[in-house]
Amino acid sequence: MMASSYSAKEEDGHHSGPAGLGGAAIRTRKPDNTAFKQQRLPAWQPILTAGTVLPAFFIIGLIFIPIGIGLYVTSNNIKEFEIDYTGTDMSSPCFNCSQSFSWNSTTPCKCVLFFSLDQPFESNVFMYYGLSNFYQNHRRYVKSRDDSQLNGDQRSLKEPSKECEPYRTNENKPIAPCGAIANSMFNDTLDLFYIDPNGTKTQILLIKKGIAWWTDKHVKFRNPGGSNPNLTAAFIETAKPVNWHKPVYELDIDSENNGFINEDFIVWMRTAALPTFRKLYRIIQKKNNMTPTLPRGSYSLEVTYNYPVRSFEGRKRMILSTISWMGGKNPFLGIAYITVGSICFFLGVVLLFIHHKYGNRNNSSDVPS
């Protein structure tokens, strides 16, 4: 009878049988004899008992419910006003503009909407424009841009990325800025006026700087030519986007808000995740603590209707809103906290009742007679 021998190498996955070609040992498919591969690592598994589960449910409920109430009350204290100026209804002052205006129109169409504020807006007021049924999250739309060109790269300015097609060139000239996002930039002009009780109109000062993210303004977007103030020369031999009425170097007379660093342009280039969205348009700063930023009374909104939405059955609106430490008006977060906290507290009460009613019976049955 032939004796068999044992080797630790065989347990570790090494076979001490006959060598293969070249004298190499034949390996088996058995995992190495290590704590990791043999699943012998130390592990911790919690034991769920009434003494640990019930306090956890009650603690979560007692923490989440007050937080949710605070968030909900804070959100409700934010004042917001919204007015739709799409002009789909025949009674709307913007009806004629919505029916006749298109991307090819050269003469701007203007309309005036009147509204009133029932409550004064005390702190800084943020003016937004809102669009509905506009899918900025479409894959081809999101990719249709050239970030190198927007960062001021001279080579990308003359040879834009192929991702910008079909808005890459126009009349054998490179488009600056190229792509579908830039081509569809929102270009309505909104002016706000306060109407005194005696009928006098006073224009509200709208701040157009400070509406974009700091990183976008100073890092991601730069004009070609560095600090060269002559943007006309920097963008020479380039074409404006197809749907634009003027080239990119004429977006503003302020050199610090012109070209690729124009804040209206930067805000639009940050695409929205949902088809109904709002983007910051202007800021109305509070002058002093004695008077509200927007007093209660009558107002008029004068719209230069440049952005057609009939082609995709969209809607346009203007929003006035204040903000708080948690941002804009968003009751969902508070409702979510209250809901989760209430469910946890309710489950804690139910499990406590079950444990009190049936727990002692089970414990007494385990006691030997």
Distance CA 211, CA 137 (A): 22
Through-space distance between the first and last CA atoms of the chain, rounded to whole angstroms? 59
**What was the pLDDT predicted at 4?**
45
Distance CA 210, CA 280 (A): 10
Q: What does pTM read for this prediction?
A: 0.79
Tokens of 313: 């059955």
Helix axes 331-365, 50-77, angle to 10 degrees: 160
Q: Which residues pair with 193 in a beta bridge?
A: 203, 300
Cβ pair 168, 160 in contact under 8 A: yes
Sign of CA dihedral 92, 95, 97, 102: positive
Cβ pair 284, 125 in contact under 8 A: yes
Q: What is the chain's pLDDT, residue by residue, as a tens digit (369 residues)?
A: 344 444 444 444 444 445 555 555 667 788 888 988 888 888 888 888 888 899 999 999 999 999 999 999 999 999 999 999 999 888 899 999 888 777 667 778 899 999 999 999 988 999 999 999 999 999 999 999 999 999 999 999 999 999 999 999 998 999 999 999 999 999 999 999 999 999 899 999 999 999 999 999 999 999 998 767 789 999 999 999 999 989 999 999 998 999 999 999 999 999 999 999 999 999 999 988 888 999 999 999 999 999 999 889 999 999 999 998 888 888 999 999 999 999 999 999 999 999 888 876 655 555 454
Distance CA 277, CA 25 (A): 66
Distance CA 102, CA 307 (A): 8
Each domain of the chain, given as residue ranges in start order, spans 80-323
